[in-house]
Structure 1
Amino acid sequence: MSKKTYDLLKNKFNISSEVLELIEKSETEVSSGFRELDDIMAFNQYKVLEAFQKNNIRDMHFSWNTGYGYDDPGRDAVERVFADVFNTESTLVRPIIVNGTHALTLTLTGILRPGDQLIYCTGAPYDTLEEVIGIRGEGKGSLKEYGITYKQVELTEDGKIDFPALKEAIGPETKMVCLQRATGYGWRKAISIEEIEEWVKFVKAIDKNIVCMADNCYGEFLHTKEPTDAGVDIMAGSLIKNPGGGLALTGGYISGRRELVEKVSYKMTSPGIGGECGLTFGQTRSMLQGLFIAPKTVNGALKGAILCARVFENLGYDVCPKHDDIRSDIIQAVKLGSPEGVIAFCQGIQAAAPVDSHVVPEPWDMPGYDDPVIMAAGAFVQGSSIELSADAPIRPPYIVYFQGGLTYEHSKFGVIKALQELYDRNIL
């Protein structure tokens, strides 16, 4: 860090020398590993560029139709590009998919039928999916209410897929086995591409007709392969996470085998119409431009997560993953041990934002969650978690989840401000 930058942070942002010295020390300790991340980023950048050129993306694709949206060249071009990037037969990419939970719900409800069984092999799903499946909540149209049964296979103690338990759980009624790649609000490392490949082979050896579905939220562009490269039949994710690059204003995607994506499209609109209708509302430019810069954006967020891990390791806190672990999502979990620590961390992240930095987030009863949740995200796109953000359910052992940053420098600054907030409140 140059003296000019050091002085700016001290004088304009009131960052203490103690915090800056810890950041400098931690960054020096992790920066040697950044070269490998840059190599992955370069591969993914060129992969995305090739998909753009293959599909002859041009200015006309940034226009949009009205009404039903028949024969929308921009929408169709976006979906072809995403399909090529993800190496799949078909992809839905729509602004009417409101978030990752919606994309996953469409996938589940589009493919599963009464009498089918769904198995989650990575333990409990993300909180917002519990009501979709029917684990909690009544009268909301869950899978359970439509006669779709559910089994849950916990991960092993070291956070791996429990293959013997999964084999025992699979039966003749099993239609789909789901995997959540990212940690969610858990305390484990994300599932690696190598583990996903092993999982697909394992399930298909038992019954080749079982659909292997991956929740790919927070995992895009972490490696040179995606779950669909590893054999997954279908996957889903959000455009205001990794693949939108911080520019997509809204939306989600579902990508995979053509016949499965087609079934999902009928749930998205209606049987017989599917993906042939639906406006993009002028979002194709931001979707494509966001996808184009996404590898670089993800690279910066990943470096920020690694720095965060090392800083809190140096302070003696438990973190997951460790700074030198192989990662498969952009999330960094830090076990702070108290609600005061979690709240201070999140308020520090909010204070580091370019938008709404004056806002002070507090825990609240957020729809879809069983505990009060605090969310810090002073973002250009509301709720965007590829932008600098942090969130946590207020429950023991009081873990905060840090992610994002449109640039590495901003992600780093988020760590600086969160750390300063903890120091100022005598929590450290």
Structure 2
Amino acid sequence: MIKQIINNYNWNFDNTLLENAQKVYDSLEKDFKRIDEIYYSNQFKVISAMQSLGLSEHHFIGSTGYGYGDSGREFFDELLAKVLGTESAIARHQWVSGTHTIFSGLATLLNPKDTLVSITGRPYDTLAKIIGLSEDAPENCLISKGINYKEVPLNNSGRPDLNNIEKQLQKLKPSVVFIQKSRGYSSRKTLTYYELSKLVDFVRKVTPNSKIFLDNCYGEFVETSEPGELDIDLMAGSFIKNPGGGLAPCGGYLAGKRESVEKASFELTAPGLGRDMGATPEGYHRLFIQGLYLAPSTVCSAAKGAIFSSAFFQNLGYEVSPTPKENRGDIIQEINLNTKENLISFVKGIQKAGVVDSHIELEPDQMPGYDHPVIMAAGTFVQGGSLELSADAPVRPPYKAYLQGGLTFPHVILGNLIAAQKIIT
């Protein structure tokens, strides 16, 4: 089927690659069915929430100036909290990235001399910089503000080291415990909802007075349950990732316990102003609300694409994580490409598969927030939108690429073929 359809166009793929793609596609039928079941559950959840809260056309109207009485803004906050299973949520286009949103959340919960402990090892590059762990950390990073930071390395299997976590939490009695759900630019394992629930319960028993902060980026709608249903104080995500559905043009969210979200709203605007201010440009509300409506479908496509990519490149002889049959907690697929040349060719191939700027020839370069040269493929409608077919790779040994997204599953199949063709030619 794949070979017959693709041969109608002028990509001229190697026959071996097309046969591998078809073989992989056929072998994953049961896995695709399981992902569809997750998709249906999440889609019904979102529809039910929109109906129960009374979504109306007037919620799509924007606001100006101070933004007082912005019913669309208020509706979307309530909708997001209901979908994520939290007491409260604040979603705003003013947050420029997931990293920005996380920084706001941590700044909300931390005061000078407080201790922040990451129990999922070293955070990824951009988070490490805002904490103050990199050599070129900015002056207003958390450590420079008087925050004490410690981290507990993952065990040899890439999972939280419970024995060491218990020792460190009992010793440090941190104000905030930080958990990263997704893998970032590392070979650590993504936490599934079940694993996260066990970890949260463990932390609560060891240090009941600590706040728990979760970086939830890339995790929304991958499973039928959301981390907001757990005893987490605050969690963060980005709308140019999963919950934006490919339509939201920017923005992020903080969700969790009512008191923590209220404090976060003061961090976003100013003490005493909070969530009741902030104008929304005309047209944005519809994009965010409709994007959330579409998110279960687009995340389903991305999840299928991740499983397909894992099996496709595994069949070509590359190490992959997760493997095709592993349970997943996010949409990211790690592929170990072994050499610098293969890595660059792979990412160039993903860019060539894009629908925007597919003609651009990528080169590695330094980017803000990263300690190594990075090459990024993002032929996307939304700049940096990683729910769309995209790939990121720090150009450093062992030369692993991180593939994510795909608003449509066929696009991910095409991306795999073009990337593989780029490597072998």
Q: What's the TM-score, normalizing by structure 2?
A: 0.97
Report matched runs for 1:205-354 at 5 Å.
205-282=205-282, 283-354=284-355
1-side partners of 2:94 and 2:423: how far apart? 39
2:366 equivalent in structure 1? 365
Match of 2:167 in 1: 168
In 2, Cα distance between the equivalents of 1:6 and 1:151? 51
Name 1:148's counterpart in structure 2.
147
1:331-388 C-alpha deviation (Å, 9 max, x unpaired): 0000001111111011111111111110111111000000000000100000000000
Any idea what the Cα deviations from partners look like across 1:93-127, whole Å, max 9, x if unmatched? Answer: 10001110011000001110011110111111010
Counterpart amino acid of residue 87 in structure 1: G
1:57 maps to: 55
Contact 1:79 1:93 in 2 (8 A): yes
CA distance in 2, matches of 1:297, 1:56: 24
Q: Deviations over 1:31-64 (max 9, x none)?
A: 2211111111000000001111111111111111
Aligned mates of 2:231, 2:224 — CA distance in 1: 14
Q: Tell me the amino acid that sits aligned with residue 92 of structure 1.
A: I
Which of 82, 88, 111 aligns to 1:90? It is: 88
Q: Is the 8 A contact 1:119 1:177 kept in 2?
A: yes
How far does the alpha carbon of each residue in 1:103-156 deviate from its partner, in whole angstroms, 9 at most, with x for none?
A: 100000111001111011111101001121111234521111111101111111
Alpha-carbon contact 1:121-1:161 (below 8 Å) kept: yes
Which string of whole-angstrom CA distances, capped at 9 and with x for unpartnered residues, describes residues 14-41 of structure 1? 2221211111111112222111111110
Q: Which amino acid aligns with 2:214?
A: A
Instruction: Give 1:160 deviation, angstroms.
Output: 1.6
2:175 alignment partner, SS class:
strand
User: Aligned pair 1:383/2:372, yes or no?
Assistant: no
For structure 1, the 5+ residue unaligned runs are none
- CA 1:396–1:364 in structure 2 vs 1: closer, same or farther (change >3 Å)? same
Q: Provide, for residues 166-215 of structure 1, a one-character-per-residue CA deviation record: whole Å limited to 9, x for no partner.
A: 11111454111111111100012211111111111111112322111110
In 2: Cα distance, 1:413 partner to 1:2 partner: 10
Q: Could you tell me the percent identity over the aligned residues?
A: 44
Query: Which has the larger displacement, 204-213 or 99-108?
Result: 204-213
Residue of structure 2 in register with 1:116 after alignment: 114
- Whether the 8 Å CA contact 1:40–1:223 is kept in 2: the answer is yes
- Looking at structure 2, the residues matched to 14 and 2 of structure 1 have their Cα atoms a distance apart, in angstroms, of 13
Structure-2 residue corresponding to 1:190: 190
* Cross-structure match for 1:68: 66
Partner in structure 2 of residue 41 of structure 1: 39
Partners of 1:259 and 1:151 in 2: how far apart?
A: 25
* Letter of the structure 2 residue corresponding to residue 375 of structure 1: M
The alignment's C-alpha RMSD in Å is 1.2
SS of equivalent to 2:7: helix
Q: What is the CA–CA distance in structure 1 between the aligned matches of 2:404 and 2:3, rounded to whole Å?
A: 28
CA distance in 2, matches of 1:266, 1:325: 41
Counting matched residue pairs gives 422
Whether the 8 Å contact between 2:3 and 2:18 is mirrored in structure 1 is no
AA aligned to 2:123 is P
Match for residue 106 of structure 1? 104
Which residue of the partner structure matches residue 156 of structure 2? 157
CA distance in 1, matches of 2:120, 2:264: 23
| Alpha-carbon contact 1:116-1:173 (below 8 Å) kept | no
Q: Find runs of 4+ consecutive structure 1 residues off by over 4 angstroms.
A: none
Are residues 194 and 106 of structure 1, via their aligned partners in 2, closer, same or farther at CA, if it must alter by over 3 Å? same
Residues 117, 150 of structure 1: 8 Å contact kept: yes
TM-superposed deviation, 1:71? 1.3
Q: Does the CA contact (< 8 Å) of 1:122 and 1:179 recur in 2? A: yes
Are the counterparts in 2 of residues 189 and 327 from structure 1 also a CA contact under 8 Å? no
Residues 188, 320 of structure 1: 8 Å contact kept: no
